[in-house]
Homo-oligomer: A and B are copies of this chain.
Amino acid sequence: MRGPDYWKTRVELVEAWLDQLVRPAGAELAGGLWEAMRYSLLAPAKRVRPVLLLAVGETLDVEPERFRYAACAIECIHTYSLIHDDLPAMDNDTLRRGRPTCHVQFGEGTAILAGDGLLTLAFELLGTCPFLRAHPAIGIDVVRLLARYAGPQGMVAGQWLDMHTAAPTPSVEHVLNIHRRKTAALITAAVEIGGLMVEAPPAMIEALRVYGEAVGTAFQIVDDILDLTTPPERLGKTPGKDVQASKATYPRAVGLERAWADARAFRDRAVEAIRPWDTHGLLTSLAYLITERQA
């Protein structure tokens, strides 16, 4: 089972885990808060980061079960970042994953808190993970790594830079710097955490880092391209927002044609880096899927 079939079964698994792990324990007074968290978290989504995490495990023949909590933690962080990025004070978006954005549905205050709740819960999930509690030295490394990639030198910095760049033609280096932090950082975290949790040798961890950064960059370039070229009913979010907001997108820096070529070049770099370790061809196949997606 490879490529699209693999992806589909793993998305189902991850979504069942999310539904199970992200609920209040017992009777809960702040029910509206959890409703907002689950609304955004359980909306149909690609689950790129958890699927890549599971794929790293399967590359070393480790069952998905080991990654149940970590996969959910990473998806919680990704979802919180979408909720906060969509806020009126940020990208001011009204459509996400095919639904009204969290603040449109529940109000801004609840959306801010739903994001805060998901971000904090991510670390509670790592602290609760049976595998990491049984291997706490790995656990503390995973906590540090996830926080570093998601934090104010990683993803949060990327979002801040994205908000503060409105040059008419941004340089490609500047766009890449934003994309690396805003998108590639959390994707890299997912695959590197996979490496830590299978106790991969340092050379494989380094290959995973290169793979994650390159796949993540390719993913965001394709995202920029699709924002320009996809009809809204297929995109699941408001198209053309990047242009309206004068965002630093990759096609704006280099044009559509070179954007496609560069996305493929980043994909090839990822595939090249992981080749010595990709025993089942799974990570290669996922890199192709990510760059060939239509929405």
Residues of chain A touching chain B, judged by Cβ–Cβ distance below 8 Å, are 24-25, 28-30, 32-34, 37, 80, 84, 87, 89-90, 107-110, 112-113, 115-124, 126-128, 132-133, 136-137, 139-141, 143-148, 150-153, 156-157, 159-161, 163-164, 177
Contacts and interface: CB of A to CB of B under 8 A. Distances in A.
Contacts of A113: 84, 152, 156, 159-160, 163
A189 B137 CA distance: 22
Given A112-B112, A136-B139, A139-B136, A120 B30 contact: no
* Copy count, this protein chain: 2
B87 A30 contact: no
Contacts of A153: 24-25, 28, 30
Given A120-B156, A126-B140, 18 more contacts: A24-B152, A24-B153, A29-B161, A30-B153, A32-B164, A33-B156, A33-B160, A84-B112, A110-B163, A113-B159, A119-B120, A120-B150, A121-B147, A123-B123, A127-B140, A127-B148, A136-B139, A140-B140
A48 to B, nearest CB: 20
